[in-house]
Amino acid sequence: MTILTLSGWTQPSDALSRLIPGSVHFDYSDYASPEASFEGLKQFEYAERIIAWSLGGQLALRAISAGVVKPKKLTLIAAPYQFVGENGMDDFTFTQFRANYEADATRSKSRFHGLIAKGDKHHKRIVDELDHHHDVENISRWLPWLDDLARISLRDMDLSAVPAPLIIHGENDVIVPIGQSEALAKHLRSGIFERWEECGHAPHLHDTEKFTARLNTCL
C-alpha cells in the first residue's frame, strides 16, 4: 500500500511520514500555489491512502476534488474547511498573523509552535518535539500558500469524490478550531469524526501511540 503524507504550513514535509513507516511525503511548498502543485501530485495519483495535517489536509481535499489523486482511504488531521471566516480565524487576527510573519519570520516561527501546542495538556513536550521546514524563513515561499488558505472555502467545491474519511481534531485547537472539522464532516460522505480532549493542533504528537493505533485500525 502506498501511503502519502502531506504536512502543515511551514512544518517539515516529512513531519507525518516519520511516524508512519513506509510512507512517502510530498513538499507542496516547492510550488507557488495549490494548482501548481497538482502537477507534482500526479505522481501519487493512485496512492491508496493519504494522511494529511492542517493545510496539507485541505490540499488533499482540493486535489481529490480536481481528480489529481484518487485515494481509497483518507485521514484528515485538523484540516481547515474555511480558515478565515465562519468557524475559523477572523479577518483581523489573520491580517495580524500574516503581518507578523512577513515582518519577522524568525520570531514568528517559534510563536507559531506555541500556537500549535496551545491548549494541549502536553504543551511543553509538543513544543520541544515540533520542528520547522528547512526554508521556513523564506516568506516568498510560504506567504502565497497562506494567502491562498485565507481565500478558499471548501464549501464552494465538489467533494463527492472524497472517500469517507477518518477525521481527527483536537478540541482545544486554536489555529483551526474544531468547528472547521464539524463543518467539513457535514459535506463529506459518512466517515469517522474523532474529537480528542485536552488536545491542540497536533493530535499526532498529543498521543503518538493512540494516533498510530487509529491509523492501523482504519487500514
Beta bridge partner(s), residue 58? none
pTM, two decimal places? 0.96
**Looking at residue 219, what is its pLDDT?**
62
**Is residue 113 helix, strand or coil?**
helix
What is the per-residue pLDDT for 189?
Answer: 74
* Number of residues written out for the chain: 219
Cell numbers linked to 48: 491508496
Q: For residues 176 and 170, is the Cβ–Cβ distance under 8 A?
A: no
Facing residues of 77 across strands? 53, 168
- The domains found in the chain, sorted by start residue, are 3-217 (3.40.50.1820)
Q: To which H or E segment does residue 167 belong? A: strand 166-170
Angstrom distance (rounded) from CA 23 to CA 2: 7
CA distance 148 to 142: 10
Q: How many CB atoms lie within 10 A of CB 33?
A: 12
Describe the strand order of the beta sheet including 192-196 as a list of residue ranges. 24-25, 3-6, 49-53, 73-77, 166-170, 192-196
Predicted confidence at residue 218, as pLDDT, reads 73
Q: Which residues of the chain register pLDDT less than 70?
A: 219
Q: Please, which residues have CB within 8 angstroms of residue 109's CB and are 6 or more apart in sequence?
A: 10, 132, 136, 137
